[in-house]
Amino acid sequence: MKKIPLKLVLVVAVSAAIITLLLLTLFFVRFQERRLSTLNPAQGRFIQFLLREIVSDSSPETIQRLASTYRLHILVKKAEETISSDPDYFRSKPYFRLKREPWPVRRMRRPEQAPRRPKMFLLKDDHAPVGMEVVRGENRFILVKYGDDSRVRRTAFLVTFSVVVVLALLFFLVKRWLADPLSELETAIRAFPEGMYAGEPIHSSGDLRKLFDAFREMKEQVRQAMADKERLLRDVSHDLKSPITRMRVAAEMLPVSPIRERIMKDLSELQSLVNQVLDVQKRKNFKREIVNVEDFFGEYLRSRKTEIPVKLEVSAPFSFKGNREQFARVVENLLENSAKYADLSKGVSIDCDVKGETGVIVFSDSGDGLGEEIIEHLFEPFFKGDPSRRQDIPGGSGLGLSICKTIVEAMDGTIHAASSESGGLQVTITFPCE
């Protein structure tokens, strides 16, 4: 049987105890309100005392004093006058909803009492007796008690407030112990493998620690595998440079013929592939500087001749922290990619804008378009797109867009591709604005 974490058991136990305490408090408050608002036949001596006081002195001052002292609504009706401690209450709906029942006088009766006695009625709110009505000849006395629940309500408020505070603390602890670490782990998993070299989430207690340790181990294994692959590519590419150079020298000594031209072309492509593999490794570390996109594109388009027409539109200029030379390589690769596969007559549009605190650069070309299954893999090393876009252009090495991704992410940016509105390819690059 799997062991339940002690922290979770503690939180559940304390929460159950607090909820039980809250329910008991609410029951106690309701019971006290009922008790303090009840005037029943068992309080015979108290009722006799009140009636004697009212009969002996029915002045408004006495009525108000008794009502204030004993928390009562008092109404005295005589032939010549009516005196009330609370006229509004005796005109209210709660008063008219009270039920009148005959008073069980036998409980109050003493042996020396005269057989003739006043008419008495019990006033009930639902099933609880809350008052009485006494009729003596032309005089009528009505007493209705209301509970002194101010202290009860204060106690209930304090208990409820304390329970809420403790529950809030428990929820905070649960969030800190469980929700926050799991959320952090989810973020790390979603960022994988882009965030492979970022710091891992750390959780140092309970069963979650095993989960986090397993994730770190998996991430370290993948990281090591990627590092081994990159090192292998770098070493193999470096070791290939000398043999390729020797073969190129040997091929140049051959007589001019179609076979010689084919060999030279293949060696050139192989040399280019090796150089690009080595170039990927070089472009992960470079000096940072502030790059203004408007100045950069203006200078780039003036100083370089592109194979495809370029339309530049800077809706909102911005600057980012990167490297001009490396970013120029990104632009060059994207324009070369469009020149190979896009419609040359329609060219490429470059739009620069700002959204919030992020600068956005969008490259859009026109053509036959690409399927979603191809777009998902465009930035993977050695992946080649659909050759049907321009079959008269030979395919490249499949490293151009991969190099773009490496450079952009090294400058804290993002890059992704989608189909453009004109049917071609749209590449969007974002950078944090400086």
338-396 per-position pLDDT tens digit: 888 888 888 899 999 999 889 999 999 987 777 777 888 788 777 765 554 444 455 55
Tell me: the pLDDT tens digits for 102-137?
A: 877 554 445 454 445 678 888 887 777 888 888 888
Q: What is the reported pLDDT for 234?
A: 66
- Whether 68 is in a domain gets the answer yes
Q: What is the reported pLDDT for 391?
A: 42
**410 Cβ contact partners less than 8 Å away, ≥ 6 residues apart:** 283, 284, 285, 286, 326
- By residue count, the chain amounts to 434
Residues 100 and 223 grouped into a single domain = no
Residues 257 and 390 grouped into a single domain = no
Residues 386 and 305 grouped into a single domain = yes
Residues 366 and 269 grouped into a single domain = no
What are the residue ranges in the chain where pLDDT is below 70?
Answer: 1-11, 26, 28-42, 105-117, 147-156, 174-182, 184, 188, 190-209, 230, 233-238, 273, 276-285, 384-397
Residue 100 to residues 90, 119, 121, 124, 127, Cα–Cα distance (Å): 15, 12, 6, 7, 11
Q: What is the reported pLDDT for 282?
A: 59
Q: How would you label 228-249 residue by residue, b for 16+ Cβ within 10 Å and e otherwise? A: eeeeebeeebeebeeebeebee
Residues 300 and 425 grouped into a single domain = yes
> Distance between CA 77 and CA 123 in Å, rounded?
17
DSSP 111-141: TTS-S---EEEEEEETTEEEEEEEEETTEEE
- Whether 339 is in a domain gets the answer yes
- Whether 199 is in a domain gets the answer no
Report the domain count for the chain: 4
- Whether 197 is in a domain gets the answer no
Q: What is the reported pLDDT for 384?
A: 67
370 pairs with which residues across the strands?
none
Q: What is the reported pLDDT for 114?
A: 47
Q: What is the reported pLDDT for 35?
A: 58
The SS3 of residue 427 is: strand
Domain range for 88: 38-146
Q: What is the reported pLDDT for 51?
A: 83
Q: What is the reported pLDDT for 111?
A: 46
Residues 43 and 28 grouped into a single domain = no
**Residue 264: exposure state from Cβ atoms within 10 A (0-12, 13-18, ≥19):** middle
- Whether 75 is in a domain gets the answer yes
Q: What is the reported pLDDT for 1?
A: 43
Boundary (domain end) residue, out of 280, 301, 324: 280
- Whether 253 is in a domain gets the answer yes
The SS3 of residue 199 is: coil
Long-range contacts of 234-239 (CB under 8 A, 24+ apart): 234/277, 234/278, 234/281, 237/274, 237/277, 237/278, 238/278
Q: H/E element holding 77?
A: strand 72-77
- Whether 1 is in a domain gets the answer no
Q: What is the reported pLDDT for 30?
A: 62
Q: H/E element holding 257?
A: none
Residues 412 and 314 grouped into a single domain = yes
Residues 215 and 160 grouped into a single domain = no
The SS3 of residue 348 is: strand
Residue 250 is part of a domain; what is its CATH number?
1.10.287.130
Residues 409 and 293 grouped into a single domain = yes
Residues 258 and 310 grouped into a single domain = no
- Token pair in block for residue 25: 């408090």
Residues 273 and 369 grouped into a single domain = no
Say if CB 53 and CB 62 are below 8 A apart.
yes
Boundary (domain end) residue, out of 280, 304, 328: 280
Residues 324 and 426 grouped into a single domain = yes
Percent of the chain beyond pLDDT 90? 10
- Whether 65 is in a domain gets the answer yes
